[in-house]
Amino acid sequence: MKEYTVCQYNMNHTLRYEPIPASFYKTNRDKLAAELPAGALVIVHSNDIYPTNADGTLAHHQNANLFYLTGIDQEETVLLMRVGEAGEHYDTLLLRETNEKIVIWEGARLTAADAAALSGVEDVRWTDVYNALLAEWVPAASSVWLETDNHPRRYTYVQTRNERMAAALRASYPDIKVESIYAALTGMRLVKRAEEMPQLRRACNITGAGFMELLAQVHPGMGEWEIEAALSAAYIRRRARKFSFLPIIASGADTCVLHYISNHKEVQDGDLILLDIGAEYGGYAGDMTRTIPANGKFTPRQRAVYEAVLRVQRYAMSIMRPGLEKQEYERLVRINMAAELVQLGLLTQEEVDAQPENPLCVRKYYMHGTSHSLGIDVHDVGSDVKCFAAGQVWTVEPGIYIPAEKIGIRLETDVLILEDGVENLIPNAIIEPDDIEAAMAH
């Protein structure tokens, strides 16, 4: 492999984050191989760089499973794993070959040495040998294991690079047995290992710090887009790459729109502002929501709804334990929420008593779930898991939405499930209404 020396890539100087040790990724490959039969061939591709118009492209966002297995955040990367007896495996990493033009216009890509240091894969080659390796290894494999995106919330119809390459593989090798690594990787990724937690904690810390920095800046007449800009600056200044998802900066009636992302209005005096925001650090996502008064002071009704949501959040965190079924957790939270909605005059006791064991009437004002898993993806793998377990990371985000009153309040934090409870991963972001008013007054 030719190594280019002009403006040579140096991962210690160009990575914006401190990478996880390569041993983490090697162990992940060991665990995956241990779950596969002898003779299996694993093929995982990076995500595409998606086009916009003319010669424009979106920024590259790496395929989470490739990142989890290699730590490589570069386009046109492929991981090939050949599994032998007793979980032995032989890994090959394919990289986009750099050249002098790329070096000048984009900066050099990873060298073989860089990629080996990041991933722990010793056999690193250029991607131009991909088809030749398939011609040699696919016919010899007992089965080929590909990535499929079976996330229950996926709804996009855009074909990924993995899906496109899978279709080409089936066309070229119609007789090969094809399986999916989705279930195996979901089980692995759902329980966070010790090496991942510094990245997650840093993402959550940056998320909370940006919110705290913002509070004293907010005032009526400010554009929602200006709030987004202030948060983006606060995150990037702390070495986040970007928001971990499109931020929701919703004021007034739009606090009741769950996925409002246009962030185009001026904030009015008396409005609430719902901030559903998160920073990405080292490939991992933070995710939090706070709802604040634009003028720095909650009205009595706004405060009453806010405190009801806060009580529900605390209740949810108090019952989240290893072994608790996710569906049972959501049911118990709905019962707790129902009592709060009755106290607020939004539901009658008769409506709740009609379904006391599972009061679905709460969905009129609280129509989403309380928790989703968090990790490399914001809506991480395992959101449809049966039971909570120690080492998992989840959001806790109840809300009450009253369109007729232009009041939408959601409060969200991220928690690590421990053997005897949960750890709040965003302790630096205040949540008490008195604390928020005090911070905004300054």
Report the range of poorest mean pLDDT among 83-87, 310-314, 351-355, 405-409: 83-87
Here the tokens at position 231 are 């948060």
pLDDT value at position 346? Answer: 98
The helix or strand, by DSSP H or E, that contains position 100, with its residue range, turns out to be: helix 100-105
Q: What is the pTM of this model?
A: 0.93
Here the tokens at position 192 are 């966070």
Helix axis angle, 22-34 to 112-119, nearest 10° = 70
CA atoms of 295 and 302, how far apart (whole Å): 13
Here the tokens at position 318 are 């108090």
For residue range 364-374, list pLDDT tens digits in order: 999 999 999 99
Provide the mean pLDDT of the chain: 93
Helix axis angle, 197-215 to 224-237, nearest 10° = 140
pLDDT value at position 287? Answer: 98
Mean predicted confidence (pLDDT) in 177-187: 93
Counting every residue written for the chain, the total comes to 442
The architecture in CATH of the region 197-441 reads: Alpha-Beta Complex (3.90)
Please check whether the two domains, 11-189 and 197-441, share a CATH topology.
Answer: no
The helix or strand, by DSSP H or E, that contains position 291, with its residue range, turns out to be: strand 288-293
For every residue of 245-260, DSSP letters joined together read S--EEEEGGGGG-TT-
Measure Cα distances from 312 to 15, 144, 273, 392 in Å: 40, 47, 20, 21
Q: Which residues, 6 or more positions from 406, have their beta carbon under 8 angstroms from its beta carbon?
A: 252, 253, 255, 256, 271, 272
Mean predicted confidence (pLDDT) in 381-389: 90
> What region does 382 belong to: left with phi over 0, alpha with psi -120 to 50, or beta?
left
For residue range 31-77, list pLDDT tens digits in order: 999 999 999 999 999 988 888 888 788 888 899 999 999 999 999 99
For residue range 194-217, list pLDDT tens digits in order: 999 999 999 999 999 999 999 999
Q: Nearest-CA neighbor of 149 among 158, 137, 141?
A: 158
Res. 13 pLDDT band, cuts 50 70 90:
very low
The domain limits of the chain are 11-189, 197-441
Class level of CATH domain 11-189: alpha beta
